[in-house]
Amino acid sequence: MNYYLEVGVLSKDVEHYINRYLDAYLLVTKRINAQIRDSIASELTNDQYLILRLINGQELCTSTYLAESSAVGKSSITAIINRLVEAGMIERNRDEQDRRQVYLSMTDYGRTAFDAAEKQVQEVVSPYLLYFDEKDIEKFIMMFEQLGQLMQETGGKNS
């Protein structure tokens, strides 16, 4: 572990990097989220899009998985799931062997809405990628994925 983090004191360099990261993160996510929200507003909220994206990536998706993956409480996930079920975009399916287990899956309508939103998100993000070399894009994404993996392994805590 980094000595400065271990004793609770940040070096000026680390503090500078953290501030730069936070400034860039907040600017980028605020603007990208607003652009995504505006492009998919007719069908989905950003949170609903995220939930459909997570469901799409799982063969057997549970609300617990969604809560853990999106780092929000189960009650928040339940509210989003209920709205998506009411909109006809997802359905709940009980496990045949364990009726207590409920899996979530997209309906045909949900798949159509998700696919359209995916296309719109790509149209929002892809123009920004034109400003970078492919190797820089790959390096940035790899480092961001490594940060995400580290956070998953540590439970989001700096252990």
Across 72-79, average pLDDT: 92
Q: 83 vs 153, which has greater pLDDT?
A: 83
pLDDT, one tens digit per residue, over 104-152 is 999 999 999 999 999 999 999 999 999 999 999 999 999 999 988 888 7
Whether the CB-CB separation of 55 and 104 falls below 8 Å is answered with yes
State the residue for tokens 């929002």: 124
- Tokens representing 75? 């009650």
**Residue ranges per structural domain of the chain:** 3-153
CB neighbour list of residue 89: distance below 8 Å, 6 or more residues apart: 44, 48, 52, 106, 107, 109, 110, 113, 114
- Tokens representing 124? 């929002």
- The pTM score is 0.79
Q: What is the DSSP letter of 92?
A: E
pLDDT, one tens digit per residue, over 20-59 is 999 999 999 999 989 988 888 677 898 999 999 999 999 8
Q: What is the DSSP letter of 105?
A: E
CATH of 3-153 given 3.50.30.10, 3.30.420.40, 2.30.110.10, 1.10.10.10: 1.10.10.10
Mark 114-130 as b/e (b = at least 16 C-beta within 10 Å). Answer: beebeebbeebeeeeee
